């Protein structure tokens, strides 16, 4: 029997291939894995950051929606607050409106520059104006930041980045498992051959 056909040789050869592949993936994508891990940690802690990463939610005076101003009026107040307090050059485009009836408050999250305006739903008083650092961190975490910087409309960078990083992580899991399991299998085969 040719030594190249033996199960031990094939297992050892596969372990060497997986070790090389594991190492190359880790070296090439090291910086990206570092970014993903740090931003993932920050996102995990965002609600427990004391408002540093994710702005805390203020309370309005009433949770009764019947007492609230119409949303178009609240939106006008939020846009005015954005322009008066931050910059008149900022876009009016909203990413979302986050109504919190139980807190008597509504958040207007603007599409550009990561700003949030919190208003009292009943009075329209500005409760908070904050930069949404959590959204910036999330965009870095999933690659959306490149779509924002290059103004792409189809999330090309995000899709490419998440696909590459997801497949790379899957390959690291597979090769890492084999680097752990392969030597055990090889030792077992050697013991079987000696008996």
Determine contact, residues 189/11, Cβ cutoff 8 Å.
yes
Report the 10 Å Cβ neighbour count for 16.
11
Distance CA 107, CA 99 (A): 6
What's residue 103's pLDDT? 97
Quick one: which H or E segment has residue 90?
A: none
List, for the chain, all residue ranges whose pLDDT scores fall below the cut of 50. 1-3
What's residue 5's pLDDT? 55
Cross-strand pairs, 130? 116
pTM for the full model? 0.79
DSSP letter for 98, please: E
What's residue 112's pLDDT? 86
What's residue 43's pLDDT? 97
């Amino acid at each position: 029997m040719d030594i190249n056909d033996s199960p031990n040789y094939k297992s050892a050869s596969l372990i060497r291939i997986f070790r090389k592949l594991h190492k190359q993936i880790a070296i090439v994508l090291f910086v990206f894995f570092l970014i993903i891990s740090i931003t993932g940690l920050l996102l995990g802690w965002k609600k427990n950051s004391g408002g540093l990463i994710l702005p805390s939610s203020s309370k309005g005076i009433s949770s009764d929606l019947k007492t609230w101003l119409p949303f178009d009026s609240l939106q006008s107040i939020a846009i005015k607050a954005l322009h008066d307090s931050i910059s008149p050059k900022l876009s009016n485009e909203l990413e979302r409106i986050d109504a919190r009836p139980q807190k008597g408050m509504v958040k207007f999250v603007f599409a550009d520059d990561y700003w949030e305006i919190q208003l009292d739903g009943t009075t329209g008083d500005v409760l908070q104006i904050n930069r949404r650092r959590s959204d910036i961190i999330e965009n870095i975490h999933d690659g959306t930041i490149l779509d924002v910087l290059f103004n792409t409309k189809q999330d090309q960078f995000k899709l490419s980045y998440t696909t590459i990083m997801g497949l790379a992580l899957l390959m690291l899991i597979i090769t890492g498992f084999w680097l752990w399991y392969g030597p055990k299998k090889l030792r077992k085969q050697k013991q079987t051959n000696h008996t």
